[in-house]
Chains A and B, each alone.
Chain A
């Protein structure tokens, strides 16, 4: 049985945690929330200089060619620090889509710039409220031009390129669309987590190429989303852990009726429940990253399980962390709301809880039939 990260990977975790503790303290997150900025560009540069943006991109395209185990570790640390960075959009989603579906020239053009961090990419999927239905997308590509409206798109205002889900006469496509061009209008959209900018994008006959110059098998797209779900789960787990630690520390330090509130069972049991959910989420995230890194057929089940567990753990921990803090937890001044925002934001991207519960049972049924 070898169901644990290697020593080198553990060292990467320590290094990443140390780096983010120093360079992404809660005051860094707060500064972005307090400003009109959509991210911390200086922090992105530092993270890129550490090589993190290059983690899983193959060496042939200027990346480090490391495994998803390393990226999962970094994802957790990003979540712990609630980093105001487009890490998930650029690394878990867009880079992966380009890498899996792009043709040689598309990969050669973009992957080296994404690996170095000089460019940021995002994915534009949603068009309206409700579940994403791939065969009802309204955004169309005809010839080499794309037209449509995507909202909300995370990190679009800081991205150089977007992978845009659209339809053409051939069917579903993931289109590569440089964002700094005529025909692309990006307007800010207010969300509850302004430490990550969100936008609406209108494409009006903008230049676009289908990744791989071909229609996309929806199953292949779902495969990329499964991979992203694993990495999102690790980031959400980091958020959950930070919320638990913050709640625990406050419960030890805050006194009421002459004793630490952490000595009341009402608080203890709440925190024990957080620990239980976080532990389930962590173990399922291990399962997810194992399936992703080893290319297992179990990925659809492992990804959905990791994702559902992480959604449940992170939203519970973030909500009950505020509750543990009482009134002070509801203030702007305390940091509790960073995790409350981020936990929910990450839970809404790439399909929310019910979507993944549904995928989980489908995968479970298929896997049972196959076995």
Chain B
């Protein structure tokens, strides 16, 4: 075993690194832009040189790169401090959905500007009544000639306020069973009747929105998949919710814990010498190292041209609770001053406090801990689903509590 690139991979890495060294913006003028402006400018720069969405086919703006090349590109790009998150949902989840379900005309129209960052997309799935049970959504679309009229409310929509388009799954037939009455559309986020309200999170930030639809008209040509096939189309989107291989959970890692435990004292000795502290740090390292080398195993599969196994499904289920546990414990070590979030005064500039406040969101977003455990149990271990009381019943007869 080794951790080296194959000669082909090494050549690709070199090419990518060389281009990045030449082109990655570091100048003051760039830094002065807003994060979204920075992201758009950088994305367009990559697109023009053939380095945007490199796994996509050339006609959509990519270069047909292999999965391992995509990983290498991400590793190299992440060496630079560049904003990327604005396009993750559109390029990572919606692009593949358009490729699988959209007409050739729509693919040609929408994929290149999605790759170039000129158009940003968001995903309108969750609803107040449909989170973990996504298919319980109630936003409805009713047929009106060549159009559909959408009414309802979506929630937890990242980036709705700066998106040009969105994909939305709606109920087109409430008289059939839950999963059978759904259809999938793309919508213009600037269309009349679309109203976006930011949600203030417990952190005080607003990363998500509520999106209200009031008599929003969309053309039938904006439908992806057949009427009633919306659930299958949604699954394409969700399957591309990438378990970003080898991704870490911010700066909350064991090296930070070691550093805090060396600075803080217990009974006149560095906390790092305390057996209980060492036990905690060892356990976190087991998790961190386990995720890292799980990622390496998946990369090896990609490098060999194979599909990675299901092992990466553990990432968020391990990483998010670890982030919460670790930040909580490090604040305990700091004692009363663990409460200080002021960047100028706090140990580690408030990273620990921000991690603790953000961790509940990570344990919920993209599948709660409980849903992730269900997914492992059902898809990896082959255990049966819970019996569902709404199974086979027309949606409008399902108890709603």
Which chain A residues have a beta carbon within 8 Å of chain B's beta carbons?
A: 1-5, 69, 248, 251-252, 259-260, 262-265, 267-269, 271-273, 275-276, 279-284, 286-287, 289-290, 293-294, 304-305, 308-309, 312, 354, 356-358, 360-361, 364-365, 368
Contacts and interface: CB of A to CB of B under 8 A. Distances in A.
B311 A272 contact: no
Among A272, A275, A276, A360, max chain B CB count under 10 A is at: A272
Tell me the dominant secondary structure on chain B's binding face: helix
B299 interface: yes
Contacts of B275: 354, 358
Given A265-B386, A287-B289, A365-B258, A357 B377 contact: no
Contacts of B294: 279-280, 283
Interface string B356-385: 000000000000001011101110111111
B286 A308 contact: yes
Interface stretch (B54-62, B186-194, B215-223, B277-285): B277-285
Contact of B377 (A272, A281, A293, A309): A272
Tell me the dominant secondary structure on chain A's binding face: helix
B179 to A, nearest CB: 19
B383 A305 contact: no
Given A252-B384, A308-B286, 4 more contacts: A265-B373, A267-B383, A287-B289, A361-B282
B263 interface: no
Contacts of B290: 279-281, 283-284, 305, 309
Nearest to A6: B1
B1 A262 contact: no
Contact of A3 (B300, B374, B385, B387): B300
Interface residues of B, number: 52
Interface of B: 1-5, 9, 68, 254-255, 258, 272, 275, 278-279, 281-283, 285-287, 289-294, 296-297, 299-301, 303-304, 311, 314, 317-318, 370, 372-374, 376-378, 380-387
Contact of B278 (A5, A252, A361): A361
Nearest to B383: A262
A125 B293 CA distance: 33
Nearest to A286: B293
B382 A252 contact: yes
A340 B310 CA distance: 27
A1 B296 contact: yes
Given A279-B294, A280-B291, A283-B294, A308 B383 contact: no
Among B255, B286, B387, max chain A CB count under 10 A is at: B286
7 contacts: A248-B383, A265-B374, A284-B286, A290-B1, A294-B2, A312-B286, A365-B258
Contacts of A248: 381-383
Among A262, A282, A290, A361, max chain B CB count under 10 A is at: A361
